[in-house]
Every structure is written in C-alpha cells, then in structure tokens.
Amino acid sequence: METALVTGANKGIGKEIARRLVAEGMTVYLGARDETRGQAAADEIGARFVRLDVTDEESVQKAVAGLESLDVLVNNAGVAVDWGVEPAEMSAAVMRNAFEVNVFGVVTVTRACVPLLRRAPEGRIVNLSSPLGSLTLLSDFDCPVAQRKLLAYSSSKSALNAVTLVYAQALAPIRVNAVNPGLIATDLNGFTPGAGVGTVEQGAEVPVRLALGDGGTGEFHGDGVNSVGGRVPW
C-alpha cells in the first residue's frame, strides 16, 4: 500500500485530494496547521492527521519523522495575499508572506521528505501551481491571466514553477510536476466573484491523477483552460 502526504489539506482542494487518494487505497497523511480542524477532516475522510505548518521547519521535521515510508508528496498548501491590492501598493512584507508559504514552504517540506521518497519504488511530488505564474501568459498583456495583476501570487507561483523544474532534474528518478487545478473558488481566493467557477472535486482531478502516477516529470499539467493538450505553458 502506497503512502501520501498532502499539505494544507483540512479543507478545499487539498482535502478533496486527500479524500480521493484514500478512496484509491493509499494511506494518506493529512497535513494541517490547526489540530482541531485537521483531525476532524482526517476523521471524516479516513486519513491520518499530522500537524504540519509549512512555514515552521520544526513542525515539518516532526511531522515527517513520524512517517515510516512515503511514495507521494502533494504540496498543496498555498496562500493568495493580494486580491484587490494594486501592484504599486504591494509591500515587500506582504510579498514575503506569500513566498513563505508558496515557495519556501514547498522547499522546506520537500527537503524533509526527499529521503523517504528516494526509498520509494516510484516517488512522486505534485506541486499545486497556477497559470497566474506562467511567464508565457503573463507576457501577453491581453491575456486574462496578465490582467489579474497579482504581484505576490503570480511571482510566487512563477518561483514555484522554477523550483519544480530544478527538482525534476535534480531529484530524478523521483517525478516532480506542477499542476493547475483549474479556476476554483475557495478560501484561498476568498471566494472572490470571478475567481472560480469549478468545484473542489473538479480541482482535485488532475492532481490526483499525477499523484497516482500519470505523467512524466518536469511537466506543468492543466485542466484545459489556457493550455494546449492539457498543459500550461511555463
């Protein structure tokens, strides 16, 4: 039986990914900062709760130390801090908050998990990204992605995409991919009007497929929106 760890999974897309992986027969560790909410979510879907704050290296090390094996890491935890904030008004301090979770948190968790993933027959890492981090789409000023003008979120996801590609080469044969779950309204975007049209079930579809072993490595998979052949341009 394979084992998976999903970060930021007490609600939204992360919880649905964890639920689907449990249904596929995996032993799933549901990572969350809040113990009460995390345990309740884990109990609901049949997962195992582990307290994990991606911005706290001590909590990450403690969480991973409790795992005997790991086949799949889903770096789902993420924040969007700049809905409604003009780029010119964005402070470096607020941007650091986005990078702490969306980039440095991924690095912290991945670094802790690599030794276990290296021992897995087919280790996989799935990073939840976004077309809002695609430099190709951001460079087209007429594209809806560019018109969002989300300085912190877009730049942090661009950085995550670069992290994904470097890891894909450096960690082989562990497969490392980025994925766009689609336009889903969740707590991440404050259920902002126009920020999402799909369900969390739809958002979990492609991440779950990658977690189960679909795809190669160093790829940016999408849901068909702003992508060709199910891929998002880097």
Q: How far is CA 20 from CA 163, 205, 228, in A?
A: 26, 9, 26
Burial class (CB in 10 A: 0-12, 13-18, 19+), 67: middle
Q: In the structure encoding, which two tokens stand for residue 59, read together?
A: 């909590």
CA-nearest of 106, 127, 142 to 226 is 142
DSSP E strand boundaries for 114-190: 124-128, 175-179
In the set 153, 167, 220, 234, the catalytic residue is: 153
Does 153 participate in catalysis according to the annotation? yes
- Residues forming the active site: 153
